[in-house]
Chains A and B, each alone.
Chain A
Amino acid sequence: MAQILIIEDDDRIRETTGLLLEDEGYDVVGAASGEDGLAAFERAPAACVIVDLMLPGMNGFDCCRELRKRSDVPIIMLTARTDPFDVVAGLEAGADDYVTKPFHAKELTARVRALLRRARAGGGSETTPRKVIRFGDVEVRVDEGVVLKGQSAITLTKTEFRLLCKMAEHPGRLFSREALLDKVWGYSYLGDGKLVDAHVHRLRAKVEDDPSNPKHVVTVRGLGYKVVT
């Protein structure tokens, strides 16, 4: 069964969260600090990582970044705050999704399940009208899960890749935030627009020539996003 790594310094939360996930049939490994968590990930890469943002020593943001350097493993962050700044900063650091404490079991397990399902399905979508999508100097090889910019391959996380494919498959079509949450994350009512915004922002940093003046992944003010070839 898939292994999940929980990096959380509060022993009780770590234990109960572990029990919850074990109930769902996952193998759970716990780590009480960012350093321990990274070491555990090195020993045995988990299928999904849950990171608390407020950790002693290496904080959750840095931990996310370090994990991202090594892997595109799905990351869910736990935050005690509803402060939007923290959420956005965590997503910028590379997290795929977030849960605010105190969370409901179904909130967390639904996210874990959705992320694992996507990871297993690979980046590609189930029905692909075109196998290779090009816009600007970017080439998306949907089946291979590869994105080239110019001649060099660029690294996208699975969520970023999925987001790019969903939009690029239908150039010019407008996607609302809700639609993207539904198609990319797989649960519209649990997520929120910030999740989409932060991922689009990260995606632009990787595929646009000038991320502050995007030419291909553009915002349709007040409505959502679309890809322009």
Chain B
Amino acid sequence: MLTFAMIGLLAVTAMSTATYGLARGYLLSQRQTSAVRQAQANARLVRNLLRTPNPDIPQLLGSLGTPAAGRAMVRVDSAWFAASAGLGPEVLPPELRSLVVERRQPARQRYRNNGQPVVAVGIPLDDDDAYFELFPLVELSRTLTTLRYSLLASAGFALVGSLTLGYWASRRVLRPVLDIGRAAASIAAGRLDARLDAAGDEELFALASGFNSMVDSLQDRIERDARFASDVSHELRSPLTTLRSAVEIMQRRRQEMHPRSVRALDLLTEEVDRFERLVTDLLEISRYDAGVAPLELEPVDLPALVRRVLRDEGAAVVSVEVDAPSEESQVVLVDRRRVEHSISNLVRNASAHAGGAVAAGVVVGVDSVSLYVEDRGPGVAPADREAVFQRFFRGSTAGRRSSSDGVGLGLALVHEQARLHGGQVWVEEVRPSGARFVIQLPRRSP
């Protein structure tokens, strides 16, 4: 844009300077030519009169045409006669005088007389007489001043114009590029509804509509995938409801059943539980994938929440360790359902893989709150500490699968839930053996 303006400025300056130079040269030479012609005519008249005997020189000067009357001078026999007071040889530049009087050459010179621009024309007469006439250039210089100002003004206008035009043009050229950059960034951030405005510019229409249709198909695909998982889980809910109820009806009558049937029923019940959890988790995670998981913040007493989850899960943890500056600070704005779900997933994970949770706690920091669940199991190998939060993760110690293995989505959900809160989750080592899963959330006070 600046380049554009600079070029504009240069062009305008060059044009103005050239215009001014040409106009000035032309006007000056016009004026001088006419001055010389007029002076020659007057000089001829004076010469003829001087050739008469006893010429009356002052009268002679007075008889010249009106404009010349006040501006003419004659040198006769080394004496000077002027048409009006204030004129005399001293107003003429010496170079001009010597050129005309001594070297007998007609000459003209432009100079300033009493601050006024004039052109003096000198014409040698007979002997060493000479005729001089001053022509004022005030009119001309005024015209030139006006011209100069108007050229400057138009140069100014042109500069502003070229700046505006340059700004507009560069915006116009760059805007689509910036728009695409912005749209791409927001799509990457998960806002799949970002589109470019394809209307307006014909040349950019192809680019914008191409970009939009690419994002359309991308969005379509992402939503289809997410919807598929969600639809599948939905469809599974009805049969699960029937299964669950049927199993519970049978459980109530287990006393009436053959021991082998009771064992089969218990296996069935466990599997229904696991199946249900998987379906619920799948539905939940598909919601994160589709970007339709809203964060519903409400004030929650975190230690109370952890205690309740531990009780509901039947965990053997005796007490919840609390490290908080005050009782009120334990109440924090979080999504109750999601945090509950996360803690219960951690507790279940501990009982499935590490013999159960042995400690749990809440730490209220300045900007964040941490919730943790500890076990005394084998711990998580350093290489797996990130991967363990991936979906359907199978540890590097595969092959030791127990019947309760396959939490599958549990830790991945803990990760997603922490992320939705703007927090994070990690696993650390506990000595001599064990793992501590930590959920750290930003501390939002109610």
Residues of chain A at the chain B interface (Cβ within 8 Å): 10, 12-13, 16-17, 19-20, 23, 80-82, 84, 101-105, 189, 192-193, 221-223
Contacts and interface: CB of A to CB of B under 8 A. Distances in A.
B242 interface: yes
B299 A222 contact: yes
Contacts of B294: 84
Nearest to B242: A12
A102 B240 contact: yes
Interface in B242-288: 242-246, 248-249, 252, 276, 283-284
> Which of B244, B294, B312 has the most chain A CB within a 10 Å cutoff?
B244
Contact of A16 (B249, B299, B333, B337): B249
Interface string B138-166: 00000000000000000000000000000
Contacts of B284: 82
B296 interface: yes
Nearest to B275: A102
A20 B284 CA distance: 28
Contacts of A189: 308, 312
A13 B238 contact: yes
B-side binding surface: helix, strand, loop or mixed?
Answer: helix
B240 A19 contact: no
A145 B333 CA distance: 37
B296 A84 contact: yes
Nearest to A80: B237
Interface of B: 234, 237-246, 248-249, 252, 276, 283-284, 294, 296, 298-299, 308, 312, 331, 333, 336-337, 446
Contacts of B243: 102
Given A13-B238, A80-B234, A20 B312 contact: no
B245 A101 contact: no
A20 B245 contact: yes
Contacts of B333: 222
A4 to B, nearest CB: 14
A193 B298 CA distance: 9
Contacts of B234: 80-81
A165 B238 CA distance: 38
Nearest to B304: A178
B238 A20 contact: no
A10 B245 contact: no
Given A19-B249, A105-B248, A13 B299 contact: no
B57 to A, nearest CB: 110
A72 B238 CA distance: 29
B241 A103 contact: yes
Given A16-B249, A80-B234, A223-B299, A102 B337 contact: no
Nearest to A224: B299
B338 to A, nearest CB: 11
A104 B336 CA distance: 21
A80 B446 CA distance: 32
B237 A102 contact: yes
A192 B336 CA distance: 10
B254 to A, nearest CB: 13
A20 B242 CA distance: 11
A84 B298 CA distance: 14
A102 B244 contact: yes
A82 B242 CA distance: 18
Contacts of B331: 222
Contact of A101 (B241, B298, B312): B241
A103 B244 contact: yes
Contact of A104 (B237, B244, B283, B298): B244
16 contacts: A10-B241, A16-B245, A16-B246, A20-B245, A20-B249, A23-B252, A80-B238, A101-B237, A101-B238, A102-B237, A102-B243, A102-B276, A103-B241, A105-B244, A192-B336, A223-B446
